[in-house]
Structure formats: structure tokens, C-alpha cells
Amino acid sequence: LGDMTFLFSILLQYFYSLTIGPHLVVPKGGALELRCHDNNTNTPSTVVSRGLRWQRERGRRLEGEVEEGGGVVFVRVQSAQGYHMGRYACINNNTKEHSSIYVFVKDPQSPFQRSMVNGILVRVGENLTLPCLVTDPDVTPVTLQTCDLQPLPSDLHYQSDPQRGVIIGNARKEYEGCYICLGELAGATVRSSQYTVDVRLVPEQPPVISLSQRERVILRRGEQFEITCSSSNLNPDFSINWDFPVGRVRASPCQREGGPHPVRERESLTLSERGRASPCQREGEPHPVCVPPPERGFISMLGDSRPSQSAVREGESLSLRVEFESYPRPGTLSWAYNGKTLHNTTEHVITAQRHRYRYVSELRLVRVHGSEGGIYTFLVNHEDASVNQSFPVYVNSKPVIISQEGPVDGQVRCVAAGYPTPKISWFYCELPHTRCSHLTNASQWEQREVATVTVSDSAFGSSEVESRLNVTKGDAHTHYHTLECVATVQGEQAYTLFSISERTVPHKLFTPLLTGVVVTAVILSITLVVLLYKYLQKPKFQIQWKVIDSIHGNNYIYVDPTQLPYDAKWEFPRQKLRFGKTLGSGAFGKVVRATAYGLCSADSVMTVAVKMLKPSAHSTEKEALMSELKVLSYLGNHVNIVNLLGACTVGGPTLVITEYCCYGDLLNFLRRKRETFFSAQAADGYYRNINNPREPQRDGNGSSYMPMRPSSQSDDKGCLSIDELSVDTEDLLSFSYQVAKGMEYITSKNCIHRDLAARNILLTQGRVAKICDFGLARDITTDSNYAKETSK
């Protein structure tokens, strides 16, 4: 086949709009000749030949095109190669009609055409074509496979065309990777080259541009100016350009940071005159940075630079504020009062804020005293400039009478202070110990008879004024009883009264104010003593278990229960407890019935008793409950002791989880069965109703004992109803025996129970007696359960 020539004729007719011809298979190295002619007889052949031309798809270069007379054009290739493979189209330039044929260059060594480009770049959403072109149309079917033999993405759909390749629609980011095309030829599997697909994200907006400095930049001449332009994009298909004055800027190379996406470019700028740089022009408005270089640094005060007077009332607060611009940064920034530097204290609070070249400093005078008036100065400087600004502060103070004297030798004296300088006036009236100035018929002493002098004068604070008045006997005013000195400052007054007719010196020790203070102090002292007494009389939470360390005759040395070890295995998650009703309670603690989930096993549900402290408990009670927990863990398990099941010591208040005894305590159990108790005897054969229900009785002496209530039948199915039980002598002997066995076990553990009583014995299923300790808060001196007897 290498020496054979294949001819193909394409007819172009005016009534054809598009004609797709068949394919042609040419062996590699064979001759290829394509001939195209128009059989339109109405058009001269010379015109037809000039209007016909051959063209390859996608603008590929056409080799061997030859025109021939008679309305025929042809393409002649002496030795067909792989790059000659493709679609050839004959086009009529006059009528725009065209027809095409696809040429296969069959290469037994390469069933798929070798591609010079193995990397394919496509945007998200576009169609992707892998150039898996077969050189022999007998290669079928063409399928797609990943290079690492992994399954194709679930939503990847493709079509194979032997003349176009493999077409993947709607490319997605998940399609990135390496692919290979497979086919079958003569029963054998053939493979194409590997193609690497890169799917680029399509940004929805232009790249984001940011500058390290976006505001005004101030530099001194000769200083270096450096600014960073940063831009980020979904893909690296973008660039950064600077626009700056020519000859004034030296740019450093572009630096890419953070992978291929963010790009940063640094420019070092040395200025010789005022200029303007507009960096990072990229699909939008540029970001200008104005750079005005002054000759030297400066400090410019903003606002009115003239001293501003400030007035404040004594006891109020005042803020002095300055705002200025400075470059370079100030080296010293301080406030001074009358030439003395102020420090940041609770009375003089100094704050400073900075925003680039603008600075704000504030001095806050807290609760100004009358003596703090004066000149406050703000000072700021650096190496090139120094500026200060003064603030005169005037402290207005209400008038006050600081001294009074007289009548002495026929003269009264009144000294007042305040700012501005107080004005002193004198009034007189007949009524004793009364403000004369408030009376409608009050008389004022004429000013020409008053001698007023300024004792001390301050330009910014309190001034003192002294006024003297002669009230000698025989004067026309001596028949009045009361003389009033009134000092006035800006509508506020201070006064003092003088008695002209007689001068009495009242005893100042028991004034109404002093009396009130003394009475209040006495009441508070008595209240404190009563509260302290009540607190000392309040019963304390006590642990009744004691562990013996050693015995010396009749003396016992006990182990400090706080020093006993505690094993973390007893810890139980408090969230697995569901609390029910309260079984017993005292001043500092209570015992609550609860349900524990997963205490014995993962799926177990168990009714337990939980001992806890109330929120009113003190640290000593908390320590005592923890000590009881350690003693119970030390004792271990016994059938006649209320055994420890678990504890919660972390994440909240301490909880001690023990066995739940459904019949309550032995004391109330026996009281309930008092009427139904009988002593079984051999001769006793008469009938007696032993199931006579009665309500639990209470001691007639008003016992404050809090019983451990038994549960109802619905609460615990394992316990029979309390009213159905009978008590006889054998039961009492059984209870005594079980308590003795429990005490024997406790003794074997070198432990004693300091409060063994019927109320500390609990009954559970099968009338099993268990020793416990419910020292919630009990005072044996007031508890009726303790009988007070004397030896006879």
C-alpha cells in the first residue's frame, strides 16, 4: 500500500449547503492526492478554479496545494505522515459552499496519533476534548481510563469520536488528573498517550488588590519609601503592574508568596521631590498614594492654638484634650502642672491615641480639688520640632465660712473662702438663732460700716475674705438678738450666726449627729453579738465514724479521716443520676432517693440513696462529708452495713452514693408497729388483727428528728407494703443479732460508731438491718431521741 495513490473527488454544487464526505485511509508513507472540482457548466473553468481552495480544520498548514485548469484543485502528498491526518475541506470562495473528507494515516506501530501536547487546560464549565485520535478506523470502541486505574468521577460523562477524540462535557475541578484512552484492534487492547487535565476555577470578580499603605504617606527628603501591593485570585492567570514617576522610583523584583495564587510586589522608593505613585492598576481604578516629602520633621497642632480657658466646679471632673500631627513619631509626650510633670494616677488620668500621623492626648482631672487650679501644659517634641500648649484651669468653689469670732471687744469677725472671691453681707434681726436674710423684714448692715479685706487671693482657685463689724454697746443695733454673716459666690451662699445680746457656748459633745452615730453603733453591736451567738449555737455536721490508730489503756488515738486515701474507682458520672424525693434532711445536708444508670453494669438501673450537702453548708461540713466518704471506702462491704456504691467528687458538689433501704429507719419502723406487736407464746391461740394500719406517730415532746421515710409499694416492687408486715419477738432478736454482726465487723476494722441508735439502723428487703450514719445536723442536747437520765 505504500506505493499506491488514492484519489478522491469532491463535487461542489450550488444546491448543496453542506456535504460531509466519507473518510479515507492512507498508509503511513503512502501517497495522498485529493482532487476537488466543480461540475457547474454555467461557470467558466478558469473562474471556478480561482474560486476553489483546500483548507484544513483548525487552520493547520496545508501542504502540496496545486491549482489545475479546468475548474480542478488538488492536494498531493508524496509520503503521508501522522501530521497529515485530519479533516480536509474544499471551499468555493464565491458561493461559500464547501465539502470535506477525513483522512486517516494508518500507522501499525501507533494505533493512536501521537500528540505533542499532553497537558490540557480548561476552565470550569467548559467542554474538554482529549485528542485521542485513532490512526485506523478499525480501532473500536474508544474508552477512557485514569492513569492510576482509579474509577472515573461519578458525574463524569464523555463521548468518543475517532475523528475528534474523547469529549468530556461541563468540566469540574474534580476531573483534574491523568487520563488514558483505550481501544481494541484485531482483538488486542491498544493505549494512547497520557493526558494531564488541569481545570482552572473561573473567578467571579476581578483580582482583589490591597496596599500595605492606603493613606497619605509623609517622608522626609532622602528617606526610603517602601510600599507593598498584594493581589489574590483563584488562579495565577493575572499580573501586577505599577505606575509611578519615571526616574524617581526603584522597583524590586516581583515576589510570589503563599503558593501560586497570592502575588506580592515590593517597590523601594527614594524621593527627590514631590511625586505621586499609583500602584496595582488591575481591572479597576488605581489606588493612589500621595507622597509629599518635606525638608524636615514637623509637629502641627490641630484646632485653635491659642490657650483655651477652662472652668470647673470643685468636685467635678475636667478633660483637657489636644490633637496634633507629627512626623516622625514624637519622642516625648507629657503633661505638666505649673511646670511640674504629671504622672498617670487615679486623679490625673493621661491617655494617648495614634492613627498614622495624627495623635490625640487627653488629661482627665478626676474630682478636681479647689487647690488644683492653674496652668496645665501639654509638651511634645522629637528630633526636629518641639511644641507646647497651655490650658488655664479655674476651679469654681462654693463659699464656705472657715472662721468666725465674736462678739469680742464689741467686734465680730467672719472669714469666708471660695472662687471667685466671695462677697460678704451682714443681716440682723430680733429672733434668736434664725437666719435673718430669709425674713421678709430683715435688715442689712450698711456696707460703709463694714471693714472687708482680702486675706489671700488666688488667680485660679479659692480666695479668702475677712469681714469685721463693730457692735459696741449703745449702738442702735444692739437691741437685736441675731447677727448673720452671709458669703455669696455665683448664687450660692454660706452663712454663720452671731448672738449679739448674749453669748452662749453650747456643749458640742452630744449634738444630734453624734447621738445618732452612737445609737446606730450600739444597735449594730448588739445585732452582731446576737448573730455570732446564733452561729456558735448552730449544730455542726459531724461524722460518727472513727478509725482507731492505737489503744493505750483506756485512751484511744484516732486516725484523722482526712488523711485516709480515696480511690478514684468509686467515681461515678453525676449525669447518670436521676434524683427523686428527699428521704431525710437536716440543717446542712440531705439524703435523696435517686436512680443510677449503669452503676453495676452498662445496662443496669438501680435505686440508690445519695447523701449531699445543702448550699448553706460551710467548708467544715464539706470536709466532714468527704471524710465520711473515705471512712466508708475504708470499711468495705458487709451485709449489715449501708455499703458505699459510688461517689461524685469532681465537677460539682460532693455526692455519696449508698445502698437504698426501702423500709426506712428502725426507730420509726418500730413506732409504726407498736400497736401490732405481739409476743408469740405456745399457749397463745386466740386471733388478733396484726394488720391494723396506723399513721406514723410523732413524739409528744415535739421531736425535731427528720426520719428516713420508707418508699411506697409502687416505688420499689422488691419491698412488701409496710402495713402488711408484722413484728414479733423473733424480729426484734433478728434485728439485734444483725446489728451485733455489723458492729463486730466494724470493730474488726479498728473502727467505732459513736452514735449507734435505732434511727441509724435502716431496714431493707428481707428485713435486713444495716448500720448507717446520718449526721446531717443534729444537736444531742436538743434532740428528743436522746434520753437524759441520771444514775440511780
Distance CA 88, CA 63 (A): 11
| Cβ(239)–Cβ(275) below 8 Å | no
Residue 755 annotated among the catalytic residues of the structure: yes
The grid cell for 540 is 455542726
The distance between the two most distant Cα atoms of the chain, rounded to a whole number of Å, is: 163
Cα torsion 141, 144, 148, 151: sign: negative
Nearest to 28 by CA among 84, 72, 71: 84
Q: In what order do the strands lie in the sheet with 249-256?
A: 208-211, 224-232, 263-270, 249-256
Give the three-state DSSP class for 116.
Answer: coil
Beta strands in 244-317 (DSSP E): 249-256, 263-270, 275-279, 289-291, 298-301, 310-313
Residues comprising the chain, all counted: 792
User: Cell match 435673718: residue?
Assistant: 436
In DSSP terms, 389 is beta-bridged to 378
Other C-beta atoms lying within 10 Å of the C-beta of residue 112: 24
End-to-end CA distance of the chain: 144
Nearest to 35 by CA among 10, 71, 55: 10
Element (H, E) at 642: none
Strand duo 340-341 + 332-337: pairing: antiparallel
The grid cell for 361 is 492626648
| Cβ(56)–Cβ(88) below 8 Å | yes
Distance CA 400, CA 245 (A): 72
| Cβ(160)–Cβ(188) below 8 Å | no
| Cβ(415)–Cβ(455) below 8 Å | yes
Distance CA 792, CA 782 (A): 23
Catalytic: which of 138, 384, 755, 783?
A: 755
Amino acid at 643: N
| Cβ(417)–Cβ(462) below 8 Å | yes
Q: Which residues are catalytic?
A: 755
